[in-house]
């Protein structure tokens, strides 16, 4: 999930990220996802890469065409423990909420119902 709509990569200074996933089916599928060119799989690395990429217009293809530098940054972000995934069983349908924190502020996005149904996007201090 890309939260940096309209932001410059060099200005965001990402510090940490948190993603809540609502149901076990969504969580199970997300944990098994293989990410092209990463030689890795899983939700943490996908969340980190999505947060680092400043191109929300790519939609579900946001991870396509990642540079080697972006891949390295995403893996480093995960290895430093800066990505937290929380299972939230309070909703039954697809629900994903991402919070991204930077030295300049905080961004929050919420997807509900389908993978492309962005219901809320808030930028605070960015």
* Residue 110 to residue 120: CA distance in whole angstroms: 5
**Domain span at 51:** 9-124
pTM: 0.72
- Each residue's pLDDT tens digit, 17-74: 766 666 667 777 777 777 777 777 778 888 888 888 767 788 778 888 788 888 888 8
User: How many structural domains does the chain have?
Assistant: 1
> 85: how many CB neighbours lie within 10 A of its CB?
16
In a domain, 2, yes or no: no
CATH number for the domain including 69?
A: 3.30.1330
**Tokens 């200005």 belong to which residue?**
11
In a domain, residue 102? The reply is yes
Residue 56 CB contacts under 8 Å (≥ 6 apart), including other chains: 2, 3, 4, 5, 62
In a domain? residue 39: yes
In a domain, 3, yes or no: no
Asked if pLDDT for residue 10 goes beyond 80, the answer is no
Q: What is the mean pLDDT of the chain?
A: 76
């Amino acid at each position: 999930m890309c939260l940096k709509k309209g932001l410059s990569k060099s200005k965001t200074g990402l510090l940490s990220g948190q993603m809540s996933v609502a149901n076990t089916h969504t969580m199970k599928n997300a944990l098994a996802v293989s990410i092209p060119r990463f030689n890795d799989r899983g939700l943490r690395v996908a969340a980190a890469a999505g947060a680092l990429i400043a191109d929300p217009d790519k939609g579900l293809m946001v991870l396509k065409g990642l540079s080697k530098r972006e891949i390295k940054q995403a893996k480093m972000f995960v290895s430093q423990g800066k990505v937290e995934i929380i299972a939230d069983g309070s909703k039954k349908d697809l629900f994903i909420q991402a919070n991204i924190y930077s030295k300049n502020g905080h961004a929050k996005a919420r997807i509900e119902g389908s993978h492309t149904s962005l219901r809320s996007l808030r930028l605070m201090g960015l």
